[in-house]
């Protein structure tokens, strides 16, 4: 309640005339040092915007006459891209008088719609950081042949947004969006005439944030791979804007290197990121472009263990498995010992994905253990931050006659049911035979269900004798069956859901194994094998 009241009070202050006057009280700054966007635009995207087609975060909004700054039904990533103005790079690629005029018209429309004053959506710390970066990077484009009024309004807007960003930045030093905010503040500090104090302050906060939010294996403390990728993007922007002799470069280069190697380890066969912990998958092309700009040779062997962050990677043939061994109070997601599996460019075993539009009900549902490909006891989550029930996870890897074997266990259910879950995965050298063992060590009468969610392009079929499940993928078939079990169980196909990066909900399926423990707990050995179908 106190936190909500504080947020509401901040909104009242930021929307007040007094705050608006304070923001405008400084002399308008000018650009002394140019910075470059690390990424090139594509002229065809500018052409689409000319036609009123705004395609951001994998979602297209058609608005031919005037831009919609806050259309209903779009996700937060669409809003962030629209108000972040990084799409100005496409107007730079198109170039010409018409491109410059249209870019200025869009900014004027943004002003006209009231976004030149504080707005709870468009002035979020990460969005304002993106926008300041883009506006400064493309100031030359926007100024060419512009009238005096536009130039005055444009630089006034950059000045007051930089001032606001500087005033709120410290509040976010423990949150991941601090890095995008710092991107804008550092670039404004380096580029603008009154920016020295802002830069000095931002530099100290960045050093603190890198130390406290980036783990030694390169992942962000949230253990969400897409957040780690976003931070890598921000660091590339920052490095690109620094003076050649800036001592901050060495620290940023160190972090770019270790984050880049972590991102490599968290990619599946189609080049996208694992969605463990509710992250976005991102596109193969986008990730490739980001890694290319690191300037690091990434052909070295990919790490199989990000043990600090809690990710284990098993690969053979065309198969890649990423296992969630996270043991952290920072993670809201409860998918302990869940895994994702891809075969070539086909995603096979998945988790349900990120919550659409940051909806609290969806976050609660999709962060549950049942939304992950793992074992669940008594329909209860394997962890609970509210009750300080954080599972201790053990991991042991071995190689046996060419097979990659990973043994894991967690005690997230110990305080509730005096039970532990052990999971063993063994992938053969060709990547066509995955054998798994799930063990519950406990007393009797505990209900359990083992979930295997599949990608929406995978078709599931249960054989007539209900002993095997066929998984049909675009590139071929797989078969799942039980090798051994010490209890009676039910195997079935059930509905599931797959959330795309843009929030689109795709109906899909899951297959499950359910039953009840006996005095000796349970031991179920299963096999997922490639067929000739």
The answer to whether the CB of 205 falls within 8 A of the CB of 173 is: yes
How many Cα atoms occupy the beta-carbon half-sphere of 454 within 13 Å? Answer: 27
Residue 5 confidence (pLDDT)? 53
Q: List, for residues 191-209, the tens digit of each pLDDT value.
A: 999 999 999 999 999 999 9
Two tokens at 107? 């900014």
pTM of the model: 0.95
Residue 59 confidence (pLDDT)? 86
Helix (H), strand (E), coil (C) string for 483-495: EEECCCEEEEEEE
Which residues in 474-485 are b (16+ Cβ under 10 Å) and which e?
eeeebebeeeee
The answer to whether the CB of 224 falls within 8 A of the CB of 328 is: no
CA distance 511 to 452: 5
Residue 312 confidence (pLDDT)? 97
CA distance 107 to 438: 57
Residue 1 confidence (pLDDT)? 46
Beta bridge partners, 314, equal: 321
Residue 2 confidence (pLDDT)? 43
DSSP designation for 304: S
Output Rg (C-alpha) for the chain, integer angstroms.
25
Low-confidence ranges of the chain (pLDDT < 70): 1-7, 298-300, 532-533
- Kindly list the domain boundaries of the chain, sorted by start residue: 322-530
CA distance 297 to 306: 19
Is the domain 322-530 a CATH 3.30.9.10 member?
Answer: no
How many Cα atoms occupy the beta-carbon half-sphere of 321 within 13 Å? Answer: 27
Residue 384, C-beta contacts closer than 8 angstroms, at least 6 positions apart: 334
Residue 74 confidence (pLDDT)? 84
The answer to whether the CB of 217 falls within 8 A of the CB of 306 is: yes
Q: Which residue has the tokens 């899951």?
A: 510
CB neighbours of residue 407 within 10 Å: 15
The answer to whether the CB of 451 falls within 8 A of the CB of 370 is: yes
């Amino acid at each position: 309640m106190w936190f909500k009241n504080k947020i509401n009070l901040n909104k009242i202050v930021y929307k007040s005339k007094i705050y608006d006057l304070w923001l405008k009280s400084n002399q308008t700054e000018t650009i002394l040092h140019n910075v470059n966007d690390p990424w090139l635009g594509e002229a065809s995207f500018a052409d689409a915007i000319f036609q009123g087609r705004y395609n951001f975060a994998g979602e297209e909004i058609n608005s031919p006459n005037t831009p919609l700054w806050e259309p209903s039904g779009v996700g937060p990533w669409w809003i962030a891209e629209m108000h972040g103005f990084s799409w100005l790079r496409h107007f730079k690629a198109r170039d010409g008088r018409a491109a410059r005029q249209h870019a200025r018209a869009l900014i004027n429309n943004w002003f006209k719609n009231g976004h030149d004053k504080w707005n709870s959506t468009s002035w979020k710390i990460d969005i304002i950081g993106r926008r300041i970066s883009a506006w400064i990077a493309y100031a030359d484009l926007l100024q060419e042949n512009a009238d005096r009024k536009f130039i005055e309004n444009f630089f006034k807007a950059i000045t007051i947004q930089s001032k606001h960003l500087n005033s709120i930045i410290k509040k976010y030093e423990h949150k991941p969006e601090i890095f995008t905010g710092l991107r804008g503040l550092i670039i404004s500090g380096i580029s603008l005439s009154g920016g020295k104090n802002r830069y000095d302050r931002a530099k100290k906060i960045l050093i603190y944030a890198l130390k406290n939010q980036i783990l030694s294996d390169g992942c962000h403390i949230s253990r969400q791979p897409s957040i780690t990728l976003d931070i890598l993007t921000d660091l590339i922007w920052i490095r690109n804007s620094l003076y050649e002799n800036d001592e901050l470069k060495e620290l940023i280069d160190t972090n770019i290197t270790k984050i880049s190697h972590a991102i490599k380890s968290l990619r599946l066969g189609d080049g996208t990121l694992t969605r463990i912990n509710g992250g976005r998958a991102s596109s193969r092309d986008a990730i490739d472009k980001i890694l290319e700009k690191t300037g690091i040779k990434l052909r070295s062997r990919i790490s199989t263990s990000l043990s600090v962050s809690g990710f284990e990677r098993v690969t053979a043939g065309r198969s890649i498995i990423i296992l969630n061994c996270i043991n952290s109070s920072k993670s809201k997601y409860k998918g302990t010992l869940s895994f994702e599996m891809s075969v070539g460019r086909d995603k096979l075993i998945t988790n349900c994905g990120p919550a659409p539009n940051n909806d609290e009900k969806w976050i609660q549902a999709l962060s549950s253990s049942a939304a992950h490909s793992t074992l669940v006891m008594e329909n209860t989550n394997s962890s609970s931050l509210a009750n300080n029930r954080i599972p201790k996870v053990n991991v042991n890897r071995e190689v046996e006659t060419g097979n990659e074997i990973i043994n894991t266990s967690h005690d997230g259910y110990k305080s509730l049911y005096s039970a532990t879950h052990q999971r063993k995965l063994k992938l053969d050298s060709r990547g066509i035979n995955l054998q798994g063992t799930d063990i519950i060590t406990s007393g009797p009468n505990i209900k359990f269900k083992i979930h295997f969610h599949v990608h929406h392009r995978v078709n599931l079929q249960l054989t007539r004798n209900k002993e095997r499940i066929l998984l049909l993928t675009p590139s071929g078939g797989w078969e799942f069956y039980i090798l051994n079990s010490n209890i009676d169980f039910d195997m079935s196909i059930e509905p599931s859901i797959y959330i795309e990066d843009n929030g689109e909900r795709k109906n899909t399926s899951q297959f499950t194994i359910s039953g009840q423990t006996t005095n000796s707990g349970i031991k179920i050995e299963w096999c997922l094998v490639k067929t000739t179908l």
